[in-house]
Structure 1
Amino acid sequence: MTDEKEKGLMSMFEGSRSREFFGEKSTTRHLPWSILVVLLALTFWLVLALSAAENQRYALQTKACQDRIFPTELDMGCLAQVKSRQHWWQHVGHALVHLGS
């Protein structure tokens, strides 16, 4: 008899129950959103790496980090900190337009 009362009581509150609890079936498609987040993170990382590589390549091309005492050597401290163009997007744009050079 208590099971019937409990089922009756629970059926009254079934409509007011929220649709989703942790661990229950979700209507959200998590796989496409997860793939999108991973691809965006990968793209962000690749843009940062491309910008850093083009920054150092352009500094080497313009000889911005040539050692003052030994002209045939490079100043590695300068190469690690050099800003050969004003903005990171200039490096990315140049690298994407001039892929072969």
Structure 2
Amino acid sequence: MSDSERKVLEMYEGSRPREEDLFETSHVNHVAWSLVVIFAGIAIWLCIALVNAENQRYALMTNKCPDPVFKGGVDKACLYTVRSRDHWWEHLWYGFTHVKPETGK
């Protein structure tokens, strides 16, 4: 390599990309955010289960699904489709605020 070539290479050495900055690195903790998404999904799933359970419990309590054939029986197909309250959040609120069963006094 001649001196003129060496001078040209030294002149353009600063324009060469540094390999440590060539690829973009992320400083976000992906494991923590994945756990947040998973736990949020589980919380939403449990809220949906609570709404369904409270809907069926209230329908049984108010006798909204009587069996048409057997007196005192329950129509199980009706329990899956009944809307015992007007809104789903009413079931959720009742389920969150009434943790212990009510005692008859």
> TM-score band (shorter)?
0.7 to 0.9
- TM-score, structure 1 as length reference: 0.77
CA RMSD, Structure 1 to Structure 2 (Å): 2.7
Alignment partner, residue 54 of structure 2: 54
Structure 1: gaps (5+ residues): 2-7
Identical residues among aligned pairs (%) = 38
Alignment partner, residue 38 of structure 2: 38
The whole-number CA distance in structure 2 between the counterparts of 1:79 and 1:93 is 20
| Number of equivalenced pairs | 93
Deviation at 1:78, TM superposition (A): 0.5
The whole-number CA distance in structure 2 between the counterparts of 1:66 and 1:89 is 25
Please tell me whether Structure 1 or Structure 2 has the larger radius of gyration of its CA atoms: 2
- Runs of 4+ with >3 A deviation: 8-11
- Partner deviation per Cα, 1:26-76 (whole Å, 9 max, x = no partner): 311111111110111010000000000000000000010011232221111
Structure 2: gaps (5+ residues): 2-10
